[in-house]
Amino acid sequence: MTPPRRLLLVNGPNLNLLGTREPDVYGTSTLADVERITTDAAASLGFEVRAVQSNHEGVLVDAIHAAREDCAGIVINPAGLTHTSVVLRDALSAVALPVAEVHISDVSHREPFRQHSYVADVAIVHVVGEGVAGYASATRRLIDVLTGHAEG
């Protein structure tokens, strides 16, 4: 059986406001731009993307659980849930799919509470502070791991 050539793109709370929310921190690109950037990067390597964004933790957990049926990996920006959600971390761990964690801003240079990630230990790729271009970088790096062109 051929493994799926699909990634799940997960964007957490408030990322639906990209483009208008704190443009000095997050830029002016929108969530639609993020989804296009990710889809284009994946398509260039023969993968497709299913995208989900929610302000509700349970919706994200359900999408992650469903990914084990037809996805090879997960690209996730957990947003504020990065720093608070053991539940999201446990869902990622439970599905046992390779994970790429991406953050638009450099969280290591922001408020102290943003400097801890519950997702970090389950992710094999970490891209931080590259703006929305970081989604393409995370996607390509994850696919490199999935296709055996890089180690996770």
User: What mean pLDDT comes out for the span 46-60?
Assistant: 98
> Is residue 140 situated within a structural domain?
yes
pLDDT band at residue 112 using 50, 70 and 90 as cut-offs: confident
Which secondary structure element, helix H or strand E, spans residue 143, and what is its range?
helix 133-146
φ, ψ of residue 55 in degrees (nearest 5): -95, 5
> Is residue 1 situated within a structural domain?
no
Indicate if the pLDDT at residue 107 is higher than 80: no
User: What does pLDDT average to over the chain?
Assistant: 93
For 65, the domain range is: 6-146
User: What mean pLDDT comes out for the span 10-36?
Assistant: 93
Q: Is 19 left (phi over 0), alpha (psi -120 to 50) or beta?
A: left
> Is residue 93 situated within a structural domain?
yes
HSE-up (13 A, CA, CB side) for residue 123 = 24
> Is residue 13 situated within a structural domain?
yes
> Is residue 86 situated within a structural domain?
yes
Quick: pLDDT tens for 62-102: 999 999 999 999 999 999 999 899 999 999 999 999 999 99
CATH number at residue 63: 3.40.50.9100
pLDDT band at residue 113 using 50, 70 and 90 as cut-offs: low
Contact 63, 10 (CB under 8 A): yes
Residue 1 is predicted with a pLDDT of: 58
Token code pair at residue 73: 């990996």
Binding site for substrate, residues? 77, 83, 90, 104-105, 114
Q: How many domains does the chain have?
A: 1
The amino acid that residue 15 corresponds to is: L
Catalytic residues: 26, 103
Helix (H, G, I), strand (E, B) or coil at 26: helix
> Is residue 151 situated within a structural domain?
no
> Is residue 106 situated within a structural domain?
yes
Contact 108, 127 (CB under 8 A): no
Residue 138 is predicted with a pLDDT of: 98
> Is residue 152 situated within a structural domain?
no
* Segment among 29-43, 55-69, 99-113, 138-152 with least mean pLDDT: 99-113
Residue 21 is predicted with a pLDDT of: 86
